[in-house]
Every structure is written in structure tokens, then in C-alpha cells.
Amino acid sequence: MRVRIRGRDQRSEQEKHGQEDPSQGETRAAGDPVDVADEMYEATAVPAAEPIEAPEALEAPEVSEASEVPAADRPAPVPAAERGVHQARVWTDVPEPDGSQGDAYVPRPVPRVMAVANQKGGVGKTTTAVNLGAGLAEIGFRVLVIDLDPQGNATTGLGIDARSFELSMYDVVMRDTKLEDAIEPTSMKNLFVAPATIDLAGAEIELVPTFSRELKLRRALESVIPDFDYILIDCPPSLGLITVNGLAAADEVLVPIQCEYYALEGLGQLLRNVHLVQSNLNEKLEVTTIVLTMYDARTKLAEQVAEEVRTHFGNKVCRNVIPRTVRISEAPSFGQPITAFDPSSRGAIAYRELAKEVSGGAS
Ligand code: ADP
Ligand code: MG
């Protein structure tokens, strides 16, 4: 079965008139299944005792333009290594590395459903979902990027204008619209996107009283999985219900980690939440893939972050790191993945190599 991409005028009568599926009005009764999201909110609400708080030493030095203190009066920055940037306590919740499988990343067989998650914003989730997706499509895999972020950056980054589609992930999650009806082709062969708009922000709240609120995406995804080799779910920068939907629908979690200050902050919280989803909603879920992003080879810190992440996550960490390049950050405004925007740039090569590594090569 192949995905049908519907035209604008093919919506069902029911959708056109805004009628809703009767099941949508269902509300949760006391004692409904697992309240994973509730547990997560609780977990999020106790920052004081948080063992994975960023150690002071992870704080970025002041940026000179933003600072009102004359440069001469500011204390000289202490090198990261001397400040004990990567203290063991950051990793109290992180499992010990599993050295048993050697140090090379081991690709899983397709179809693969991967949630690209990290509750921090700006770490390269969307950039990785879009460009890894494009790299995989170039190899010949059929790839679907699901935009679960109300910012819709994966949507626009793949050249889809919000005015050009009528059904989005909001409809899929809140109105039980079929996912296949929301899928749009991109300018790249084999690469599709299920778009998001700002409406999706409302779903975070509107989902709260609905039945099976954590499993909306998983149910919607079932029918399209056979159509794709890779489904990459671009999660928003939070651990709310939308992200829980992404995690509950995936088999694997891909965590982009920015090789920068604060890189490790919050990672323990993410892993705890993955564990919560795994034990309550989706036992297959596993963090399988760590991608180091925005790597600046000129800084010692990037190297230290990369080393520390490898020590703890072993062969889950992809050997190919993504460099920080201006071209990567320019590509989204042209609605193109870097592999199409500037095919021979360092960023394009890095994402292409990453796609080979993650997939094991040929399709
Ligand atoms: P997230 O989805 O985690 O919030 P994004 O992928 O949107 O993060 O990236 C945040 C910002 O950093 C964007 O402006 C993006 O263009 C830029 N960016 C991401 N990866 C790189 C990179 N490797 N080099 C330079 N800029 C990058
Ligand atoms: Mg994003």
C-alpha cells in the first residue's frame, strides 16, 4: 500500500463541515489507564531536588555584547576542564555504558519509527529530523517527517507553506483525521512531511481531558507504517502531552545533543521520561541513537562534551558528528534540506554520512 496524497478538494464532507468524530468528545474517567503525562508533570515540578541540574560550571560565560560590565572588570573565564564541567553527578540517572556491543553504531532493520526528542530548544532536533530525513531519502528510503512542534519548523524547512495544506497534525491528533490524509510530498523524492501549524499548541491543553490522550499519534501512525522505511517524529521542546504522544508512537528515540554549554542539562529528565513511557505505554521504546550537533572543532568544550557523551552512551552515539555551519542554518529559509540547498557543503556531507551510518547504507 502506498500513501495517498489528497488534493485540497478531496476532504470528506464531515471534515469540511467541521464535524467531529463522536469519540472525540469522550472524556477521561477517574481511574483511566496510566497517567504518564501527569507523572511527568509532577516530575517536572520538583526542580529543587533535581540531581541533573546543570552544575554551575556548565554556565556559559557572559557574551560581551550583551554585557554591561566592562570586559576588563569581568573575571577571566575559567577553562571548562578546571571547573569540572562534566562532573559525575550530571550522570546520576544515566545508565552505565554498555560496552558489550563494541563501539560502532548498530542500525536496526526498517521500518523504523524514531522520535527526535530533547526537551531543550535549539539543540538541532528539527534540523536533524529534516536533514537526516533528506539524507535517508537520497539513499532511497521512503521517509516521513512528522512535525509535532507547533512552531512548524520542519514543515517550513521542507518547503511546505502553511497556506498550501488544509490538514495538519492538529487534525490528526485532535480530530482523528487519518494521518495519510495530512501527508504532503516535498520537493525531494521519497521525502514526505506531515505538517504542523501553530494550532498544535492548543492540542497540548485540549488533549488533557480526552480519552487515550497519550496514544493519539500511535493509533494514527499504525496505518502508515507499512508505507515508509523511516518515520522521524520531530518533537517540541517540552515534555508535555505532545512529546508523550511522540514517544508513545515511536520504537526508538533519537536524541540530538548540542556540543555546547548546558549540553547535558536535562538529559536525565528526558531519560527518566523515556523510561516512564516505556514502562507504562510503550515497552518497545528505547534510546538508540544520539547525534552530536553543532560541533565546533575549534573549541575544547565541544570535544569534551562529545567525549563525555560517548563514555556514557557508548555505541548509541553516532560516529558522524554534525558541524556547526552557517549553510545549515540558512537552508530552512529556502525551504530546503541542506543536502538540496548546498549539496557539497560540509553540513550536507555530514548529514549524508549520518544517514548512511544510521541506516547502515543502501536501502
Ligand atoms: P530544535 O528543533 O532542537 O529547537 P533547531 O534544529 O531548530 O533546534 O536548531 C536551532 C537553530 O540552530 C536553528 O536556527 C538552526 O538553523 C540552527 N542550527 C541547527 N543545527 C545547526 C548546525 N549544525 N550549524 C549551524 N546552525 C544550526
Ligand atoms: Mg524544533
pLDDT in tens, 72-124: 444 454 444 444 333 332 333 444 444 444 679 999 999 999 999 999 999 99
How much of the chain exceeds pLDDT 90, in percent? 63
CA 80/CA 76 separation, integer angstroms = 12
- Mean pLDDT across 331-357: 97
> What is the 237 CA–ligand 2 centroid distance (Å)?
7
Give residue 36's pLDDT. Answer: 60
> What is the 26 CA–ligand 2 centroid distance (Å)?
31
Could you report how far apart the first and last alpha carbons of the chain are, in Å?
18
CA 70/CA 83 separation, integer angstroms = 23
Write phi, then psi, for 230 (nearest 5 degrees). Answer: -130, 130
316: Cα within 13 Å, side-chain hemisphere:
21
Atom 16 (ligand 1): residue with closest C-alpha? 329
How much of the chain exceeds pLDDT 70, in percent? 72
Ligand 1: which atom is nearest the Cα of residue 128?
Answer: 6
Write phi, then psi, for 22 (nearest 5 degrees). Answer: -60, -30
What the block records as the C-alpha cell of 38 is 501527569
CB atoms within 10 A of CB 259: 25
Average pLDDT, the chain: 80
Ligand 1: which atom is nearest the Cα of residue 322?
Answer: 23
Q: Are 360 and 289 in contact (CB under 8 A)?
A: no
Mode of pairing for the β-strands spanning 252-258 and 112-116: parallel
pLDDT per residue as tens digits for the range 152-183 = 999 999 999 988 999 999 999 999 999 999 99
Atom 26 (ligand 1): residue with closest C-alpha? 329
Atom 14 (ligand 1): residue with closest C-alpha? 329
pLDDT per residue as tens digits for the range 256-265 = 999 887 778 8
Q: CB neighbours of 192 closer than 8 A, spacing ≥ 6?
A: 3, 5, 142, 143, 144, 145, 183, 184, 185, 186, 228
Nearest of 309, 268, 239, 257 to residue 50 by alpha carbon: 268
Q: What pTM was estimated for this model as a whole? A: 0.78
Mode of pairing for the β-strands spanning 230-234 and 112-116: parallel
Q: Are 50 and 269 in contact (CB under 8 A)?
A: yes
Write phi, then psi, for 297 (nearest 5 degrees). Answer: -60, -15
Give residue 227's pLDDT. Answer: 97
pLDDT per residue as tens digits for the range 311-322 = 889 999 999 999
Q: Indicate the DSSP class of residue 63.
A: P
> What is the 328 CA–ligand 1 centroid distance (Å)?
8
Ligand 1: which atom is nearest the Cα of residue 347?
Answer: 23
CA dihedral 241, 167, 10, 23 (to 10 degrees): 30
pLDDT per residue as tens digits for the range 57-75 = 333 333 333 334 444 444 4
Ligand 1: which atom is nearest the Cα of residue 323?
Answer: 23
Task: Give the mutation target among 119, 120, 127 for probing the ligand 1 site: most ligand atoms within 8 A of CB.
Answer: 127
Place of cell 539543540: 123
193 DSSP β-pair partners: 145, 184
CB atoms within 10 A of CB 25: 10
Ligand 1: which atom is nearest the Cα of residue 324?
Answer: 24
Give residue 32's pLDDT. Answer: 46
Rg (CA), the chain: 21
Over 54-67, what HEC string results? CCHHHCCCCCHHHC
> What is the 247 CA–ligand 2 centroid distance (Å)?
15
Confidence check: pLDDT of 342 > 60: yes
Helical ranges in 187-266 per DSSP H: 200-206, 216-221, 241-249
Q: Prior bond to 111 cis, omega within 30?
A: yes
Atom 18 (ligand 1): residue with closest C-alpha? 329
Nearest of 313, 254, 251 to residue 285 by alpha carbon: 251
CA 346/CA 74 separation, integer angstroms = 36
Helix (H, G, I), strand (E, B) or coil at 166: coil
Q: Are 206 and 242 in contact (CB under 8 A)?
A: no
The distance from CA 84 to its chain's CA centroid, rounded to whole angstroms, is 29
Neighbours of ion ligand 2 (CB under 5 A): 125-126, 149, 153
